[in-house]
Amino acid sequence: MSEHKVHYSQFFVAALPPQVIFLMHWAELTTLVKASKDLTLDGPGGEIIGNTTAEVCFIGLAAHFEAYCKNQFASLANIYPPLIERLCEKRIGIMVSLHDVYRLSRKLNYQIGTLLAEDFDFGNAKTINSLFKDLMGITPFSKSEAKTYSEFLGDRNLLVHNAGIYTHKYFRQKFQKEFDDELSADSLYVDKTVYLHWSRFIAQIVLKINRTCMKKLKAIIKNDGAVISDSQSKAIESYSRSPGFASRGAT
């Protein structure tokens, strides 16, 4: 690796540690929701029937978390490319575009993880766990967390694909009973309380992933007896210098 040509920020997608990018968006979404007003029947104090701002931010929260997972995976492989050997041992036949390899030929020594991550699916807990396990031997979600995240994604998908209106499939999975005509017009209501509940959960998962990945990466490097560059060291250090969530209400 050409140390004089590679700044530590170049290991990261968008030149910032993934959790920093997520935190910036997370904070903005949280601010928007807290400043919004829940919709109620019969004026103030009435039954809450949703919050359009909270719904949109809920969808955005899911998008930014998925991007975080992809960028985290990419950055780890960028910082320490030997991780890719571990990945290839588990996933024989990984392929990348020859055009992309040629286009990034002068950057592959610090951007190959970004190239690989683009073709992987980070859309659910199962695939996220599988990818991180193959890359570095960790599973970001516990069984209970994976189940909770699946519920979050179910709500997100209902909002995106059916404007929150209950479908038969969603209703059976959510309430463990058959759909009936009386509920045919019912919908998923996302208000401030609902959004902030899921926001805390997602932020805590990000913190967990970040902490676990850094601990494991340092252990792998030590176990390999590898000598890493100053840029690699600074990239790893930048994770621990990143702002936390506690002061912003994530915990």
Residue 186 within a domain: yes
- Structural domains in the chain (count): 1
Burial (CB < 10 A; 0-12, 13-18, 19+), residue 17, is buried
Residue 1 within a domain: no
How far does CA 203 lie from the centroid of its chain?
A: 9
Per residue in 160-215, pLDDT tens? 999 998 888 888 877 766 656 555 557 899 999 999 999 999 999 999 999 999 99
Residue 217 within a domain: yes
Distances in Å between the Cα of 45 and the Cα atoms of 42, 189, 192, 195 are 8, 16, 15, 19
Residue 184 within a domain: yes
Domain that holds residue 93: 8-248
Q: Which of 98-112, 171-185, 225-239 has the highest mean pLDDT?
A: 225-239
Residue 2 within a domain: no
Residue 94 within a domain: yes
Q: Band the pLDDT of 64: cuts 50, 70, 90.
A: very high
Question: What is the pLDDT at residue 67?
Answer: 97
The answer to whether residue 37 scores a pLDDT higher than 70 is: yes
Residue 69 within a domain: yes
The pTM (predicted TM-score) of the whole model is 0.88
Residue 3 within a domain: no
Question: What is the pLDDT at residue 93?
Answer: 73
Contact 74, 113 (CB under 8 A): yes
